[in-house]
A = this chain, B = another copy of it.
Amino acid sequence: MPRAVVLLSGGLDSATTLALAIRDGFEAHALTVRYGQRHALEVERARSLARALGAASHRIVDVDLSPFGGSALVDRALPVPKGREDAAIGGDIPVTYVPARNTIFLSLSLALAEVLGAEDVFLGANAIDYSGYPDCRPEYLRAFEALASLATRAGVEGRPLRIRAPLLERGKGDIVRLAVELGVDLALTLSCYDPSPDGAPCNACDACVLRRRGFAEAGLSDPGNLPQGRGRG
């Protein structure tokens, strides 16, 4: 079984990506980064998801980006935008953009892939119903792949790394349907940037708006719209 590293945030997209990697026959090693995010609750969700989906291992790496600031996701002084129109999302780079976040996450994945002898890194990046972050674009991902082949012992020895973003071209409704098909427990996933301490989503940030759109398109109600535990038996 080939090994893969899967970046797992605890959200809908990365959970679905992990399920896909496992379905496609990879021994999936999940990697979650606690980076000082305001919604650090997602790390606990990632832990539950890795276990529920059958990841071969799950590592949580701490990199505190909050001293850098510059993003509403790590700087408590910057409010998370709420109530933006659906159509406005993705048209600019919002204040929830975390400088270089995917580059940092992919670098850590690259390190882990090299240690594990994995030649594949999966991430849940999405370029259709997305938040306008530059480091989710296909050309960015190809550039990281090019970098990786020069960066590592594996690359030098002729084993280049593949960056796989299987959801890149899928809409949110499509992702919700796929998650259900793959048996992802969507109640465990947390998309909200600004949840209450008990895990209830704010229902107003861009991530909540995009998630709501996805469930509406899929014709399903969102089991993750309740605090974890509630309504789950």
Seen from chain A, the residues whose Cβ lies within 8 Å of a Cβ on chain B are 59, 61-65, 67-70, 93, 97-104, 106-108, 110-112, 114-115, 134-135, 137, 139-140, 143-144, 146-148, 150-153, 155-156
Closest beta carbon of chain B to A123's beta carbon, Å: 14
Q: Are B115 and A70 in contact (CB under 8 A)?
A: yes
Q: In the bound complex, what is the Cα–Cα distance between A153 and B115 (angstroms)?
A: 31
| Copy count, this protein chain | 2
Q: Do A110 and B115 contact each other (CB < 8 Å), given the known contacts A63-B62, A150-B134?
A: no
Contact of A153 (CB < 8 Å), options: B61, B93, B144 = B93
- Give the residues in chain B near A61, CB-CB below 8 Å: 63-64, 67
Q: In the bound complex, what is the Cα–Cα distance between A98 and B65 (angstroms)?
A: 21
Q: In the bound complex, what is the Cα–Cα distance between A144 and B156 (angstroms)?
A: 16
- Give the residues in chain B near A112, CB-CB below 8 Å: 68, 99
Q: Do A153 and B114 contact each other (CB < 8 Å), given the known contacts A63-B63, A67-B61, A147-B143?
A: no
Q: In the bound complex, what is the Cα–Cα distance between A23 and B147 (angstroms)?
A: 31
- Give the residues in chain B near A103, CB-CB below 8 Å: 107, 110-111, 147-148, 151
Contact of A111 (CB < 8 Å), options: B93, B100, B111, B151 = B100
- Give the residues in chain B near A139, CB-CB below 8 Å: 150
